[in-house]
């Protein structure tokens, strides 16, 4: 008795990790350490990330990101603390809301966090952080969040309050020269409330790409590199948003 061929198409379940893939670039002077990071993020992590090693001397191109968030991980392994900020500044991409920048393997007793925030770094991972912490932090940063300790953020905000007391009049003069559109003011207020680009897009019923365009324009007008500096600007220039 002959059997009929089975014409059913085998359904292969989609790898859930693909939905979580992101563009992550790894830069650093120590090749072995970079390759270990690459292995963990592409093979050992779940979900995995789509990573690429870049030569330490390469200048990142920020054009043609196609609205996809990308993270630059600067590997600080073996670096002296005083050299880390200068090295970060040399690699920080031109202002783009699609590129984020974080430092990894920072000495655990380092005090660079506040300066890192000021130059546009979105997060810091210390040499004694677990690999799971690194994975969770990368996912958070790619969503537009900051990855710093509560103590660091509290200290930075405290310093801001002191600056506000002494520089109140000069900040008002500067803010009066800035011309934000009604929509830009609206988006900046949401940024100050800690909303992500996705949340802002939902509230304003516009696309994420439109939000990113507005955010990029806002950063350019108020001359800040990232979200936390934008929040600081709002606290200094609140009257300007009314």
User: Going along the chain, which residue ranges are E strands?
Assistant: 23-28, 50-54, 70-75, 99-106, 123-126
| pLDDT given for residue 14 in this prediction | 43
Who wins on pLDDT, 58 or 182?
182
Instruction: List, for residues 185-207, the tens digit of each pLDDT value.
Output: 999 988 888 788 888 999 999 99
- Judge: domain 168-241, CATH 3.40.50.1820: no
Q: Which of 228, 199, 226 is nearest to 72 (CA)?
A: 226
Residue 56 CA: distances (Å) to CA of 38, 90, 137? 15, 10, 23
Which residue carries 């680009």 as its tokens? 197
DSSP state of 147: B
Chosen CATH of 17-150 out of 3.40.50.20, 3.40.50.2300, 3.40.50.10790, 3.30.56.10: 3.40.50.2300
Domain boundaries, the chain: 17-150, 168-241
**Dihedral sign for Cα atoms in the order 135, 141, 142, 143:** positive
Q: How far apart are CA 29 and CA 40, in angstroms?
A: 18
User: pLDDT tens digits for 10-39?
Assistant: 444 444 444 444 578 898 888 898 999 898
At 183, list the tokens.
């929509």
Output the pTM of the full model: 0.65
The whole-angstrom separation of Cα 110 and Cα 132 is 21
By C-alpha distance, which of 120, 128, 86, 80 is closest to 104? 128
Question: How does pLDDT run across 146-186, given as a tens digit for each residue?
Answer: 888 877 777 776 766 666 555 555 555 555 567 889 999 99
What are the φ and ψ backbone dihedral angles of 147, each rounded to 5 degrees?
Answer: -125, 80
């Amino acid at each position: 008795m002959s059997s009929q061929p089975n014409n059913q198409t085998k359904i292969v379940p989609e790898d859930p990790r693909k939905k979580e893939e992101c563009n992550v670039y790894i830069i650093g002077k120590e090749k072995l350490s970079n390759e270990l990071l690459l292995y963990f993020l592409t093979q050992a992590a779940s979900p995995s990330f789509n990573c690429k090693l870049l030569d330490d001397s390469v200048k990142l191109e920020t054009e043609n990101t196609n609205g996809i968030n990308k993270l630059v991980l600067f590997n600080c392994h073996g670096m002296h603390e005083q050299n880390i900020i200068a090295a970060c500044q040399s690699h920080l991409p031109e202002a783009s809301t699609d590129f984020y920048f974080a430092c990894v393997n920072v000495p655990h007793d380092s005090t660079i966090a506040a300066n890192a925030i000021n130059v546009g770094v979105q997060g810091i991972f210390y040499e004694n952080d677990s690999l799971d912490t690194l994975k969770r932090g990368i996912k958070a940063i790619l969503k537009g969040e900051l990855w710093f300790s509560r103590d660091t953020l509290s200290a930075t905000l405290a310093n801001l309050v002191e600056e506000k007391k002494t520089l109140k009049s000069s900040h008002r003069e500067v803010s009066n020269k800035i011309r934000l559109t009604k929509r830009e003011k609206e988006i900046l207020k949401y940024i100050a409330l800690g909303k992500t680009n996705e949340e802002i897009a939902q509230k304003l019923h516009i696309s994420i790409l439109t939000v990113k365009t507005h955010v990029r324009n806002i950063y350019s007008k108020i001359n800040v590199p990232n979200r936390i500096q934008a929040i600081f600007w709002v606290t200094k220039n609140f009257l300007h948003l009314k």
